[in-house]
Structure 1
Amino acid sequence: MGAAAQQVIGIDLGGSAIKLGRFTVSGDCLADLTVPTPQPATPAAVVSAIAVAIDQLDPHREAGAIGLGTPGPADAAGRIARVAINLAGWRDVPIADWLEDKTGRPTLVANDANCAGLGEAWLGAGRNFQDLILLTLGTGVGGAVILNGELFVGRQGTAAELGLITLNPDGPPCNSGNRGSLEQYCSVQAIQRQTGRSPAELYQQAQAGDVEAITFWQTYGRWLGAGLASLVYVLTPEAIILGGGVSAAADLFLPTVRQELEERVLPSSRQGLQVLVAELGNRAGMVGAARLALPLVHPTR
């Protein structure tokens, strides 16, 4: 393969845009491209759009493998998109096979939150840790678990749905069928339901000294800290990384999160634990998808 073995393509498939990047095995981004997601975003239309974009991104076929993050669970082998949120007609789509047929390059697929976790672990806030968890605080609350430097997805590929753990058994109903899940207290939608305001408005109001907004963020930190305490007891990570849009307000709720963890978690389970804000922003999924593909060209990684 020569030069091809030293490059990979990472793809982050979203409901409105597809982000692609071509990376070296050491993590340098050589080129990137964003294209609109076809509407309706049927599997066939998406695969065709990705194939065209890859030809633009890598006209000389220098990349040896492809990683793809999709908005929903993949199978444990990284071959099949089992469901894709906000995309039309996605159920058990053999997306890796289809992309391999279209591009002639080995492909792996993973859930987009898992890709974001891999991205932060590779080139972002988690690069100095072997054991970490990532929470994406966005429209929903997604998660990823990295143990011993490897993505943990469980035997079915669906582990680490960290936003769906129960905080309050009598709380608001969740799309998952749960009630009072972490997502129902810490997502953008939950914040808007509770306050009638967006996280950005609440952030600006708190910065301007609005007591009600400041109090909201402290309450938010309590809920998030309580949820994280359960995860820490199970996984004892070295670091917790918080990403997604709500993490932009982290300076207003992190002190409360840290306080909750100190009060709720035995020192023996949180020794050296760091709570950090993600560094890669909306590039994390694309970066992590590239990291997903590395073993296909560089078996030691």
Structure 2
Amino acid sequence: MKYAVGVDIGGTNSRVALIDEEMNIIDRVQFPTNVEDPDETLKQLAAVVKGFEASDNRELVGIGVSCPGPLDLINGIVMETPNLKGNWHHYPVAKKIEEYTGIPSYLENDANLAALAEAVVGEGKDYRFVQFLTISTGLGSGQVIDGEIYIGAHGFGHEVANVCMWQDGPQHGSLYPGGIEAISSGTAITTRALNKGLNVKHAGEVNDLAAAGNEIAKEIMDDAKKYLASFISALIAITDPEIVILGGSVALKIDGFVDEVEDLVKEQVFDVVKPYVNVRKSTLNEDSGLLGAGCLAFSKAS
């Protein structure tokens, strides 16, 4: 049997998984990401890959690499990614991993690979047009059409964080004020709550306060859902996906979040479109990026 390696480089940890042709994760290793020095991180990654390769003389056909964007997907380069700093910016990740391991390597946006995993083995496996959104620390988007990731003319397709949904809206880090990530991501929800004097650690606690009747928390959660629904409605109007899959901690851990967003989407589309609105929760949880990376490596090797 042939195997692929899926890599998920995050702002806190990096995960490496050995994946078989049936898209099963056989083994996995996690270690802290050095957010300033990519070479240190990639040397650790290469050591893990060598261990996978040495065990039972496995044939590794390729390495798929999931990384937060924006990325230069044409040339396999990390651009100015907020979660990674220092020498990571403008760093040729795919080329360097290939140099360290001797195995063909391919870089892709983390949300794109999660979308690919959903389209191949997740909630979207029975559909041709699959839209995926992750609502977690940030907010990412990916679309898969007939099993192929849509990246656009320059590789920036679905880099959506700065899409302005609220004129002069909330400011969050270096994001454009009122950008969808500055409203609906878990970090943005928490930051807005803290700025308004609420003692919370994450978006789930903001939601708990909202459910208990706190008006400030309720307003923040209502905004997150309403603007996310408006954004999804726009995606539906532009690309007409058969299914919209929501992943990430906000969508997966806050009870009723996905259902409420679907109801709000239906309020904002034409009547003839309503029967086709299909917003679902991811069933792949945190493995979607790894599985998508493995799927990418297999597809490049075929």
TM-score range, shorter chain: 0.7 to 0.9
Q: Is the 8 A contact 2:61 2:298 kept in 1?
A: no
Question: What do the CA deviations read for 1:76-131 (whole angstroms, capped 9, x no partner)?
Answer: 33522233333231232222222222212111101112122222222222222221
Secondary structure of the equivalent of 1:241?
A: strand
Residue identity matched to 2:10: G
What SS does structure 2 have at the residue aligned with 1:11? Answer: strand
The residue number in structure 2 matching 1:264 is 268
- Conserved 8 A contact 2:189-2:221: no
CA apart distance, 1:215: 6.3
Matched, 1:52 2:47: yes
The one of 3, 8, 26 equivalent to 2:4 is: 8
Task: Please give the per-residue CA displacement for 1:32-62, whole angstroms capped at 9, x wherever unaligned.
Answer: 111222x354122222111011112332242
**Matches of residues 118-157 of structure 1 in structure 2 within 5 Å?**
118-157=116-155
Alpha-carbon deviation of 1:66?
0.6
Residues in 2 aligned to 1:30 and 1:40: alpha-carbon distance in whole angstroms: 27
SS in 1 for 2:59: coil
- Return the letter of the residue paired with 2:69: G
Pick closer, same or farther for the CA change 1:162–1:268 going to 2, 3 Å.
farther
Q: Which amino acid aligns with 1:26?
A: E
1:91 aligns with 2:89: yes
Match of 1:81 in 2: 78
Q: Secondary structure at the match of 2:100?
A: helix
8 A Cα contact 1:74 1:157, kept in partner: yes
Out of 284, 288, 295, the residue aligned to residue 291 of structure 1 is 295
1:26 offset after TM fit, Å?
2.2
Residue 219 of structure 1: how far off its partner (Å) = 4.3
Q: Corresponding residue for 1:159?
A: 157
Asked if 1 retains the 8 angstrom alpha-carbon contact of 2:246 and 2:281, the reply is: yes
Structure 2 CA distance for partners of 1:58 and 1:26, relative to 1, 3 Å: same
CA distance in structure 1 between the partners assigned to 2:259 and 2:288 by the alignment = 25
Indicate if the aligned counterparts of 2:132 and 2:141 stay in contact, CA closer than 8 A.
yes
Q: Give secondary structure in 2 for the equivalent of 1:135.
A: strand
TM-score normalised by the chain length of structure 2: 0.87
| Partner deviation per Cα, 1:121-169 (whole Å, 9 max, x = no partner) | 2222222222121111112211111122211111211110233322112
Percent of matched pairs sharing the same residue: 27
1:43 is aligned to 2:20: no
Q: 1:200 aligns with which of 200, 204, 213?
A: 204
User: 1:177: how far off?
Assistant: 5.4
Distance in 2 (CA, whole Å) between partners of 1:253 and 1:149 is 28
1:25 corresponding residue in structure 2: 21
On the 8 A contact 2:129/2:144 being kept in 1, the answer is yes
RMSD: 2.3
CA distance in 2, matches of 1:283, 1:185: 25
8 A Cα contact 2:140 2:161, kept in partner:
yes
**Residue 279 of structure 1 aligns with which residue?**
283
Indicate conservation of the 8 Å contact 1:73/1:110, yes or no. Answer: no
CA–CA separation in structure 2 for the residues paired with 1:195 and 1:75 = 34
Question: Aligned equivalents of 2:140 and 2:6: distance in 1?
Answer: 19
TM-score normalized with structure 1 length: 0.87
Taking a change above 3 Å as real, the CA distance of residues 269 and 187 of structure 1, as seen in their structure-2 partners, is same
Q: 1:255 to 1:284 in 2, by over 3 A?
A: closer
Quick one: structure 1 residues 158 and 21, their matched pair in 2 at CA, closer, same or farther if it must change by over 3 Å? same
2:19–2:26 contact (8 Å) kept in structure 1: yes
Secondary structure at the counterpart of residue 63 of structure 1: strand
Counterpart of 1:179, as a letter, is P
CA contact (8 A) 2:192 2:220 kept: no
The count of corresponding residues between Structure 1 and Structure 2 is 292
Measured after TM superposition, the shift of residue 270 of structure 1 is: 4.9
Confirm or deny that 1:241 pairs with 2:239. no
Matching residue within 44, 64, 69 for 2:66: 69
